[in-house]
Amino acid sequence: MFLGEHSLRLDDKGRLVLPAKYREELAGGLVITKSRERCLYVFPQPYFLELAQKLQTAAGRTGGHRGRMFFSSASEDTPDKQGRVTVPQSLREYAGLARDCTVVGNNDRLEIWDSPTWEAYLAEQENTFSEAAEEVLPGVL
């Protein structure tokens, strides 16, 4: 499970050092791809393969354009000994990643955000979250 918020920096080669607490889980490989929110998703490779199978099954009902964007932008990588992964230029451009990044744990995935974009998102969403009348998960939270 991926949790928390981590402030990180891209180096001059477009590499990002993964948070130490996630390196073991991602050591076997990962997939970075676009999200619909202008951030990047990072999945452990085995989970991405499971997700791909589920999306393939659902493609007949939901259409292929979302899957096409999701898969065509995906990039596989394996962290090096220092826990670094390379974020391809096209994905950095899509997410507006310059130097300062925020890596957010979101249960089954990590998300990589441009730090100012993440701060703006939080400012917009935190009031909505705290003012919501309904439970996050009805009957649970």
Candidate CATH numbers 3.40.50.300, 3.60.21.10, 3.40.50.740, 3.40.1550.20; the one for domain 5-131: 3.40.1550.20
Handedness of CA 48, 54, 59, 62 (dihedral sign): negative
Cα separations in angstroms, 28 against 67, 70, 112: 24, 21, 19
How does pLDDT run along the chain (141 residues), one tens digit per residue?
A: 999 999 999 999 999 999 999 999 999 999 999 998 999 999 999 999 998 888 777 766 555 666 777 888 999 999 999 999 999 999 999 999 999 999 999 999 999 999 999 999 999 888 777 666 566 656 665
Q: Angle 45-62/65-72 helices, nearest 10 degrees?
A: 160
pLDDT at 20: 93
DSSP of 6-40, one letter per residue?
A: EEEEB-TTSEEEPPHHHHHHHTT-EEEEE-TTSSE
